[in-house]
Structure 1
Amino acid sequence: MKIRHRLSLQFTLISGIILVAAFLLIYALSAQYVRSTFYHLLQDRALATAQVYLEQDEVTKKKFLEIEKSYQQSIPDEFSNIYDKDNNPVFLEKIKYNWPPSLLEIIRKKEVYHFTFKDKYGMGMFYPDNQGDFVVIVTARNIAGQQQLSYLAWILFIMFCVALLITFFMGQWYASRALQPVKSINRQVKKIRSTNLHLRVQRGRNKDEIDELAANFNDLLQHLEHAFEMQRSFVSNASHELRTPLTTIIGEIEVTLHRDRSGEDYRTALQTVLDESEKLKVITDGLLQLTRVDVILTDANTGPVRLDELLWEAEEHFRHRSPVQTLQVQLRNLPNDASLLTIRGNKPLLLLALQNIIRNAFKFSYNHPVSASLSYSREGTILSISDKGIGIAPEDQEKIFLPLYRAGNAHAFSGYGIGLSMSQKIFRIHHADITVSSVPDEGTTFNIFFPAAHKI
């Protein structure tokens, strides 16, 4: 079922419940009013009955004629009875009811008492007179009142049905208008494919949930476009890196097989094939290692890791290399509590990621000293690696973390563009962000930020 129909039905159901409650209240109040009015009429009839039959000798002739005239205007199925203080009937009209003494006593006690008898309404009134104390009982059917209530019930029922129909169709119209922006978004989304991810959904003019949906969808498209661009770049770079040694191998083999050669020529050709094959192995091993860092950190493969100790271990690693590579370590604003510098993570992976960045710093600065600093703040800990090397062009800074991507000025150096991508993945699974700032021919700085929220 479409949302438009579901909203209309729900709106109609809610309106129906409200209408039922309102109409029932109207009917109940109307029934109460009709019943109260009829009881007042019965009370007037009881008073007229008592005056006609008990006070005929006490009022003037003109007044008596008026009372008698009003008495003659009877109610349908009206019956009147009068009883004395000994519960003996002194006046029975048409039909004698054997009213129980208990009812008569209740009437004397309450003076005016309303009750129902079978399908009739009854009214008992205590009437003191100079001839004695009497009880007057009048019963009658409220035919006119019942007809009014029946007519009211039919009117309310018809109004209920008409109101539900109007509510449903109005709900359809309103839901259709309310969902029009969603339909517009659907039409635009149908046009977006992998070949035109640059398209965006047009946002509405109202700052509402639908506008927020369009904004979030545009953000998703932007991420998808970036991911597709990364994928295309990865495929292109991987094809280039793999094609170069393969082309060399194939060409060397074809040239060697073109004619008979000496043993020295064969050894030279095989050495070239071996060198290029080793390059292929390094590339494939790097790609395999790149996929292996997509792990989920659990209690089984993680533990407490102090960032300052991690930096000192990296410094020791490069100090014992040949030739010696100098890593100048600086610690700033360190807290007294060592736990504030401790994160939960996989130490070998973190050390690998840090060594990749430091290794690149040495490589692209011709093994000049590299600076490493660790600084603490309430927001988190920042680990910075700086060199005075060749730098990175602005247009390459956003792409250097792509697998197998190499900046234009990096082709003179060995490498395949895998280390930075691997490091970024390792830091991300540890909830850390890595950013780069660089000036060509002046140097590069990598900043790794470990937020305080993910420390232990």
Structure 2
Amino acid sequence: MDIRKKITFNYVALSTFSTSLLCVIVFFLFRENNRYHFLKRLDDRAKIVASIHFQKDPEKIKYYKALKKDGLEELIEEEEFVLKINSQNSFDYNTKLNLPNEFYTNILSTGKDFFEVDNKYYLGQIFEEDHQKYIVIVGARDRKGRDTTIYIVKIMLFGGIGFVFLAFFLGRFLAKRVINPVARITKEVKRISASNLHNRLPEVRNSDEISDLTNTFNNMLDRLETSFEIQANFINNASHELKTPITTIIAESEIMLLKEREVSEYVQSLENIYSQASRLGNLTESLLKLTQTGYDGKKQVSDIARIDELLMDVKSDLDKIFPDNRVSIKLNFAPKDSNLFLLPCNKPLLELAINNIITNGVKYSDNNEVFVMLSATNEMIKISINDIGIGIPPEDIPHLYEPFFRGKIAAKYIGYGLGLPLASKIIRMHDGELQVQSEQNKGTIVTIVFKKTNIKNFNVQS
């Protein structure tokens, strides 16, 4: 069942239920109102019957009889009974009355009661005259009330059936009004494919859920288009970066195989092949690590490391690669509690990320000073890496996290454009934040922040 039919069905069901409930309430209220007014008429008759029975003045008796005959509406199958109550609280029973004992008991205890049988009402009431009590019972059939009730029931029945049909057509109309915008969006979305991701859904000016849905789809298409463009650039750049060393290796090998050469030439050729193969290996390893960071972060986090010790390990590795590096590590606001430096993490990956960032600082500052500052509080762990290098042009900063992207002023330095994107993904995997501030020809400040509220969410095996 599609949504349009569901909306119609639910609307008809709710309308039928609410109408039926309203009809039942109206029916009971109408019936109770009829009963109340009919019993009120019986009560008036009982008082007149008592007045006629107790009255000794012939003129007044004549007056009450005339009032009963001409002043009150005639009732159908009207009956009147006056029963004398004895001293033992018993009374003279009339055989014409076929009423339950409970009816008489209630009259004696409360002074008044009524009883209904087959749409005929009996009202009994106690009257007293000259210290003598009597039970006056008046009975009549409420045929008019019954006929009116049947008429009302017929109106509600046929009106209810008509309303159900009306609700069905109104439900279809309402469902169509509600679903049409969604159907239109579905139709437009089906037209969009990988070849025309530039298309967008027509904007809806109303501030409603349909407008939110349209904007959400358009925002998603923006992200998809950007992702496809990045993916295309990634493939092109990766193909180029992989093809260059492979082409060099093949060309070098072909040249060496053309004829016999001196040993020194073979050595030089092998050195070139080794250099290109090493470059190819490093590039492949970087691509693999970049892919690994796409896995579930919770599965990656398995260690608890002290961030200050991790920085010292990174510095030790840098000393082996760049013996003359001028990297200095400084603790700002060193806490008394060393446990504040503890960070749940995947230590090898996080070490790789920080190593990449510091290495960039060393490389792009031409081995100038690089300051690494660490601070830890109850709220966060913060690492700041400040170099005095070539800086980054403002137009290049939005593209820093795109794989293989390299700015124009960085072209003279050896690299693949994978270090910072890889570091960014690893830090995000640890629920950290990476911020880059740079000014061309003055230097760059890279800030890494791990908030303790995020750290608590890690699934750590200590």
Query: Which TM bucket (shorter chain)?
Result: 0.7 to 0.9
Secondary structure at the residue paired with 1:77? Answer: strand
Secondary structure at the residue paired with 1:262? Answer: coil
Give 2:261's aligned amino acid: S
2:92 to 76, 88, 93: 88
1:289 matched residue in structure 2: 289
Q: Aligned-pair distance for 1:269?
A: 4.7
Any residues of structure 2 matched to 1:311-390 within 5 Å, and which? 311-319=311-319, 321=321, 323-375=323-375, 380-390=380-390
Q: Compare 413-422 and 105-114 and name the one that shifted more.
A: 105-114
- The answer on whether the counterparts of 1:8 and 1:172 sit within 8 Å (CA) in structure 2 is yes
Give per-residue Cα distances to partners, 1:345-381, cap 9 Å, x unaligned: 1222222211111112212222222122234577634
- The answer on whether the counterparts of 2:431 and 2:455 sit within 8 Å (CA) in structure 1 is no
- The answer on whether the counterparts of 2:372 and 2:386 sit within 8 Å (CA) in structure 1 is yes
- The answer on whether the counterparts of 1:51 and 1:67 sit within 8 Å (CA) in structure 2 is no
Any residues of structure 2 matched to 1:395-410 within 5 Å, and which? 395-410=395-410
Change (3 A) 1:106 1:247: closer
Whether 1:135 and 2:135 are equivalent positions in the alignment is yes
Q: What CA distance in whole angstroms lies between the structure 1 residues aligned with 2:401 and 2:77?
A: 100
2:155 matched residue in structure 1: 155
TM-score scaled by length of structure 1: 0.85
Q: Compare 212-221 and 149-158 and name the one that shifted more.
A: 212-221
Q: Aligned-pair distance for 1:69?
A: 3.1
2:234 matched residue in structure 1: 234
Q: Aligned-pair distance for 1:235?
A: 0.3
- The answer on whether the counterparts of 1:319 and 1:327 sit within 8 Å (CA) in structure 2 is no
2:459 matched residue in structure 1: none
Give 1:30's aligned amino acid: F
Q: Aligned-pair distance for 1:123?
A: 1.2
Give 1:416's aligned amino acid: Y
Change (3 A) 1:109 1:350: closer
Whether 1:427 and 2:431 are equivalent positions in the alignment is no
Secondary structure at the residue paired with 1:195? Answer: helix
Whether 1:262 and 2:266 are equivalent positions in the alignment is no
Change (3 A) 1:378 1:222: farther
Whether 1:111 and 2:115 are equivalent positions in the alignment is no
Change (3 A) 1:195 1:270: same
Q: What CA distance in whole angstroms lies between the structure 2 residues aligned with 1:267 and 1:159?
A: 103
Give 1:59's aligned amino acid: E
Secondary structure at the residue paired with 2:324? Answer: coil
Whether 1:177 and 2:177 are equivalent positions in the alignment is yes
Secondary structure at the residue paired with 2:416? Answer: coil
Change (3 A) 1:12 1:338: farther
2:449 matched residue in structure 1: 449
1:243 matched residue in structure 2: 243
Number of residue pairs the alignment of both structures matches: 451
Whether 1:186 and 2:186 are equivalent positions in the alignment is yes
Identity across matched positions, percent: 31
1:18 matched residue in structure 2: 18
Give per-residue Cα distances to partners, 1:110-148, cap 9 Å, x unaligned: 333211235521111324346954322222322211111
Give per-residue Cα distances to partners, 1:81-135, cap 9 Å, x unaligned: 332235336xx7xx82355776445434433321123552111132434695432
**Which structure 1 segments of 5+ residues have no match?**
none
Change (3 A) 1:343 1:168: farther
Q: What CA distance in whole angstroms lies between the structure 1 residues aligned with 2:200 and 2:162?
A: 45
1:436 matched residue in structure 2: 436
Q: Compare 321-330 and 31-40 and name the one that shifted more.
A: 321-330
Secondary structure at the residue paired with 2:59? Answer: coil
**Which structure 2 segments of 5+ residues have no match?**
457-462
1:123 matched residue in structure 2: 123
- The answer on whether the counterparts of 1:76 and 1:140 sit within 8 Å (CA) in structure 2 is yes
Change (3 A) 1:98 1:214: closer
Q: What CA distance in whole angstroms lies between the structure 1 residues aligned with 2:203 and 2:451?
A: 34
2:222 matched residue in structure 1: 222
Q: Aligned-pair distance for 1:321?
A: 5.0
Q: What CA distance in whole angstroms lies between the structure 1 residues aligned with 2:270 and 2:256?
A: 9
Q: What CA distance in whole angstroms lies between the structure 1 residues aligned with 2:36 and 2:261?
A: 128
Give 1:13's aligned amino acid: A
Give 1:290's aligned amino acid: L
1:37 matched residue in structure 2: 37
- The answer on whether the counterparts of 1:340 and 1:455 sit within 8 Å (CA) in structure 2 is no
Q: What CA distance in whole angstroms lies between the structure 2 residues aligned with 1:66 and 1:253?
A: 138
Q: What CA distance in whole angstroms lies between the structure 2 residues aligned with 1:105 and 1:292?
A: 92
TM-score scaled by length of structure 2: 0.84
Q: Compare 211-220 and 44-53 and name the one that shifted more.
A: 44-53
Q: What CA distance in whole angstroms lies between the structure 2 residues aligned with 1:318 and 1:270?
A: 28
Q: Aligned-pair distance for 1:240?
A: 0.5
Q: Aligned-pair distance for 1:313?
A: 3.3
Give per-residue Cα distances to partners, 1:236-255, cap 9 Å, x unaligned: 11110111122223333444
Q: What CA distance in whole angstroms lies between the structure 1 residues aligned with 2:159 and 2:136?
A: 43
Q: What CA distance in whole angstroms lies between the structure 1 residues aligned with 2:275 and 2:451?
A: 44
Q: What CA distance in whole angstroms lies between the structure 2 residues aligned with 1:414 and 1:363?
A: 9
Secondary structure at the residue paired with 1:192? Answer: coil
Q: Aligned-pair distance for 1:282?
A: 2.5
2:205 matched residue in structure 1: 205
